A and B are shown apart, each in its own frame.
Chain A
């Protein structure tokens, strides 16, 4: 595991580069196939409305995967991730048009945890259409 960011070079409050991830129906179909999660609320508008949703919604695990990229891209080695957890608070609604939805992810170093293990905790902010979609979104990363 070889992170690109050195433990000495960060402090509590250090911001990670923010990213925006577009999501269209095409994205969801691909994710369904790759992940094996074929729940129709992620691709069938008729079914989604029948169960009370406003429209098709993104897989929670897709949103979790995108949010992780802000951490792993920053660290440089995805293998540097020690812990990663989220709470699914709101769905990402994905309309059937060319734009779809956008997941906005920003993050900052919340604390330096262990000088020997060189681990830091990163807190993520994950929103779509101006609303928080993941809560308690935290990662522990081992830096160089």
Chain B
């Protein structure tokens, strides 16, 4: 099913703030096996010029993907989420996410394409802090595979 092209360029309202906690960063760092002290020790982070512990680079994905979920779930868009796999992911940082941040995400649909029966959706998530300053932008490409080869594709792609 082709997606509704009129959605290209559409932005969604900013999400409610996500407050980044030191212990959540610690939990995430441990889960990826990270021992860099800047993730857990405010002093070590301070020596690198950061005002508090910082989060590993991909930490913010949990926040932007949740925001993207609101786009994906928009029934008017017509995306079949049961067939969606994560195609590409990119981040551009103004600064690292850090403890104490209250982050909001504004999601925009950058592109909607259909190729060989697959629906492709590019979502940009702009992450800003409480002061409205840019922190990081996340680009997420989602691919909804053609229904008849969903299983084959699931085997060849990593789902999220």
Contact = CB atoms under 8 A, between A and B. Distances in A.
Contact of B158 (A52, A59, A65, A81): A59
A57 B48 contact: no
A90 B93 CA distance: 26
B39 to A, nearest CB: 7
Contact of B85 (A21, A68, A83, A88): A88
Contact of A79 (B33, B49, B62, B157): B49
B120 interface: no
Contact of A1 (B49, B56, B157): B49
Contacts of A84: 57-58, 90-91, 93
Interface string B83-121: 001111111110110000000000000000000000000
A98 B89 CA distance: 30
14 contacts: A1-B49, A1-B50, A2-B49, A35-B31, A37-B62, A53-B155, A68-B58, A72-B56, A73-B36, A78-B54, A84-B58, A84-B90, A87-B88, A136-B88
Interface of B: 27-28, 30-34, 36, 38-39, 47-50, 54, 56-58, 61-62, 65-66, 85-93, 95-96, 139, 150-152, 154-160
Given A2-B48, A88-B158, 18 more contacts: A39-B159, A39-B160, A51-B154, A53-B154, A61-B58, A61-B86, A61-B160, A64-B89, A65-B32, A66-B32, A72-B36, A82-B92, A85-B88, A86-B90, A88-B88, A91-B155, A91-B158, A136-B88
